């Protein structure tokens, strides 16, 4: 079975902190994604990556950056956390474009 693992289930950070969310997949998938999920807004794509060191902006990239130095790991970085970044963050991966997306367990981030 494909496993997508996010480093934390719950995080509480202070406004202005630099925050790192880590995601690791174990099935050699090409594509990796970061979404945030908010009530009434669904899943919104922040960034995705289709190869090592490659990244593409999603629909809401402002205030975020990403890093993919190894194929299995995709990191989401909040450069200076703000309260409006309080959300559920979901990492996903797909073997190839158009294939099934497998999700991590999610990280509920609270910025105070």
Residues near other proteins, by CB under 8 A: 31, 33, 35, 40-45, 48, 50, 56, 58-59, 90, 92, 94, 97-98, 100-101, 103-106
Question: CA angle at residue 61 from 78 to 93, to 5 degrees?
Answer: 85
- 85: three-class secondary structure by DSSP: helix
Pick the closer one to other proteins by CB: 18 or 57: 57
As given in the structure block, the two tokens for residue 70 are: 């190894």
Return the number of the residue (5 or 82) whose C-beta is nearest other proteins.
5
CB of 105 to other proteins, least distance (A): 6
Q: How far apart are CA 86 and CA 71, in angstroms?
A: 28
């Amino acid at each position: 079975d494909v496993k997508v693992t996010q480093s934390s289930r719950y995080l509480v950070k202070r406004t202005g902190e630099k925050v790192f969310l880590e995601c690791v997949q174990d099935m050699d998938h090409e594509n990796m994604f970061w979404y945030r999920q908010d009530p009434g807004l669904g899943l919104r794509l922040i960034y995705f990556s289709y190869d090592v060191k490659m990244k593409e902006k999603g629909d809401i990239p402002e205030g975020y950056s990403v890093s993919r130095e190894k194929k299995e790991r995709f990191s989401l970085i909040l450069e200076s956390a703000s309260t409006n970044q309080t959300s559920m963050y979901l990492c996903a991966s797909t073997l190839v474009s158009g294939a099934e997306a497998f999700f991590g367990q999610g990280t509920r981030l609270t910025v105070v």
